[in-house]
Structure formats: C-alpha cells, structure tokens
Amino acid sequence: MSGVPAATAPRPPLRLSAISVLLAGLAAFAPRVALAEGAAAEASDEPAEPAAVRDAEQTREGRPGATLSPDVRVSSGTPGLDEITETNVAATLADFPFAGGRVTLLGSPTFLSAGSVPGDADNQASFGTATFGGTRPPPPRQHAEGFGFNAAYERDWVRADIGSTPLGFPLQSVLGGVELSPELADALQLRLRAERRVVNDSVLSYAGTRDTANNTLWGGVTSTGGSAQVELSLGRANFYAGGGWASLMGTRVAANATTEFSAGGSYPVWSNGTGVAELGLDLVYFGYRKNLRFFTLGQGGYFSPQSYFAALVPVSYTAHTGDLTWSVKAAIGYQVYHENASPVFPDDPALQSLLVVRRGGPTGLISNAAKNAAGITDSALASLEWRLSPTWSLGGRVGYQHAGDWTEVAGSLYARYSLGAEEGHRAKGTGLATRR
C-alpha cells in the first residue's frame, strides 16, 4: 500500500470551542502528522509578546461570536484505498455564557472522497473479500457525506465537548472529551485528557464502507483513551513531556491499542517587538499492538506501526504588521518505524483459515508482509489573519506534510465575527501531541 504517513506525533488538541476548532486550521485536520510545538508560556522576565499575537489568542479563546470556515485536506495514496480528500464547512450555530463559562454549538457538513479502486487484480484484491477472486462486483466508489454536530463548554482550565461523526456517514459514533489543565505553580502546568475521537486516515476508518461482494459494512474506527502531560517554563525556554494510551475499535475491525510518549521544548531565538522566532526540538514515540493499515475485511485503514520514533526540529516566526497577523512554521526530522506482518482477515479466523486453504486465492496473498522504514519527514504551515474591524476578521491557513511517498496538503479560510472585549486566557505549554 502506498502513502504510509509520517504520523510524527501528535493529534491536535481537543476540538473544544468554535474559535479553537476553526482557527486550528490545518493542524486540526492533519490525521497523521502534527508537530508537537514548544510551549507558548512566558516567564515574568521574558520580553513582552507582540500585541497582535496576544490579541489573536484572545479572540481565538475568549470572545463570543461566530465563525464560518471552509476547509480542504488532500492526502496522497492509492485511489479507493488510502487516498482521501476531505472538504467541510464548519460554522458556529450558537455561542452563549453558561455556568460561569461559555457554551459553543458547531455544525459542519463534511464530504469525503477517495475515488475508485484501480482495476488491476492486485489492487482489487486489496479491498474487502475480493482476494478470493471469482465473479464479484467491483469495490464501490469510496465517498461519504454527512453533517456533524458538536457542543463544547469551556471555563478557566476546564474544557469539555460532545458530538458525533457526521450524520449520513455509513457508520456513526459518539465522540467527545474532557481536558483539565490546572497550573501547579507559576511556571508549571499539568494537562490531563480523556477523549474519544474518530480515526480519519481514510474513508474506511473515518466513515466506514461496504464490501459489495458480501454486503458487509465495516470500518468507522474510534480511539478512546487518555493522556497526561507536564509543561514547564524556565526563563524564556519552555518544555513538555507526557504520554498516553488508547483503545481503538470499529465495526467488524480487529480491536487494537496504542501507547505513546513525547517530549520536547522551544526557545525564542529572536524578537524585534513586532515578531518572534522560535526554535525547538520534539521527540516522539508510539506503537500499536496490531498493524491494521490495510483495506481487506477486518483491517482498519489507518497507519498503525508496532514501533515508531521521530526526532523533529521545528522553527517558527510569528509577526504583526498593522491589522495583519501572520506566521510561518516549518519542521524537518528523521523517522524510523516497524510494522509487523498482518493477516488479510485479522478479525475473522474462519475467513482467514479459508484463505489459507485456498492458498491465498488468485493473488496468493495470505498475510501482508512486515515492513521496516526510515527517512526524512518535513512539513510547513503558513497562516494569515486580517482584522477588518474590532469585530470582524478574515484569515486562512495552508500547510504541507511529507514523508516517504506520502504527501498531504490542507488549507482553510475563515470569517469571524467577535462580540465584546473579554480577554481570553492562554494556556501555558502545548497539549500532548496525540494522534486522532
């Protein structure tokens, strides 16, 4: 299978409010790779942050209002299998104070497409139960459409949300999470998360699909687990370290589990009063119990190596000029991972035994081979926000991620209307980078 992702660490933080979701932009929709960036916390002796950067954070996290944001994500791979294009338009349906905090209701029409599986025998045998050969209907064109809902609550260091995968997808799941981020001391913060999220690596893992050969619906994988992270500011430097565990389940997909650890830090290497440049280092490890990245019945269609390690060097520059706030981020690193061999039908011993008896059918495939890989991984992200007035802002993001023969490009635009001048808080540090 082509398009094995870098999955360099982190899944983006919990989608907890309309502003944080929509302005998370590219990072919020990167299913496999996201940089565990250094913390943004500041010590008392650090030079003052540019006002526009601070204002952007306040608008993002503290002010009620409404946001409309179309987003597109395109990930390379084999059509009908691991290739995916996701388009959605996230919108704030309601935003109001409640119980000392703020409630945000979101709606998002979502469209997924992966095209059709190529007609050659090997690719056709990679889907569902087609490996048995014979006269069978071809795999269906891979697509899904639906409308997702999410309700979020935020107060001080408590955040929570509940929602679902888009209604209209072949399979739906209830999603949600809770994050607690108390400050243990002036320069020390603890971040705890418990969450259930969808795995959106492919149409199979995200929405589910149907094997037309036997009319079986499978997929729709969710990850349920928790994580803990400690974030520390020492002078102008920021550090984080943490770990997490999750169980992965789907309809007629073999059960799986993952463990992950990450650590790193960042330091502002240059500042001129209107902009700040930061340099960091991120170390990431994770591993899954089973390799389920394939697309036959019982597989999950998501990157799940048994061991993965990456070392990344991110650099970023954020600046403000007049009514414009913009940033450029890039990272380069080295990754090493191993995948165990994986049965063609990992969740159905009877089908797997039948395949063995038939010596793999026309293709002779009984088990997907183990794999070892290593190489360079890199990414880039640019964002821009234009404040039209104290209440109106326009902006957008575009990003690129690459590892091996896998590439993903994503972009978003947004229009935001903000009410009031309530000053929002900035959480010190970065959340534990965990995959969705």
Q: What's the burial of 178, exposed, middle or buried (CB within 10 Å: 0-12/13-18/19+)?
A: middle
- For strands 188-198 and 183-185, give the pairing: antiparallel
Beta bridge partners of 191: 229
Domain ranges of the chain: 18-418
What mean pLDDT is predicted for residues 237-256?
A: 98
Number of other residues whose CB lies within 10 A of the CB of residue 243: 17
* pLDDT for residue 164 is more than 90: yes
Quickly tell me which residue has 């899904």 as its tokens: 144
What integer pLDDT is reported at residue 405 of this predicted model?
82
Q: What's the burial of 137, exposed, middle or buried (CB within 10 Å: 0-12/13-18/19+)?
A: exposed
pLDDT digits (tens, 9 = 90+) for 108-152: 999 999 999 998 888 999 999 988 877 778 888 999 999 999 999
**3-class DSSP assignment, residue 142:** strand
What integer pLDDT is reported at residue 332 of this predicted model?
97
Residue 418: pLDDT band (50, 70, 90) is confident
Q: Which of 404, 395, 419 is nearest to 374 (CA)?
A: 404
Six token digits for residue 25: 């932009």
Six token digits for residue 56: 């952007």
pLDDT digits (tens, 9 = 90+) for 303-359: 999 999 999 999 999 999 999 999 999 999 999 999 999 999 999 999 999 988 887
Beta bridge partners of 310: 284, 335
Kindly write down the DSSP assignment for every residue of 337-368, as one continuous string.
EEE--EESSTT-HHHHHHHHHTTTGGGT-SEE
What integer pLDDT is reported at residue 56 of this predicted model?
34
Q: How far, CA to CA in Å, does 293 sit from each of 172, 203, 232, 369? A: 20, 12, 36, 12
Q: Is 80 left (phi over 0), alpha (psi -120 to 50) or beta?
A: left
What integer pLDDT is reported at residue 63 of this predicted model?
56
- Does residue 28 or residue 129 have the better pLDDT? 129
User: Radius of gyration of the chain from Cα atoms?
Assistant: 22
What integer pLDDT is reported at residue 132 of this predicted model?
86
- Does residue 132 or residue 408 have the better pLDDT? 408
Compute the mean pLDDT over every residue in the chain, rounded to the nearest whole number: 83
What mean pLDDT is predicted for residues 50-75?
A: 62
Angle at 110 between CA 432 and CA 292, to 5 degrees: 55
Burial 326-357 (b: 16+ CB within 10 A, else e): bbebbbebebebbbbebbbbbbbeebbeebee
pLDDT digits (tens, 9 = 90+) for 307-316: 999 999 999 9
pTM: predicted TM-score of the whole model, two decimal places = 0.81
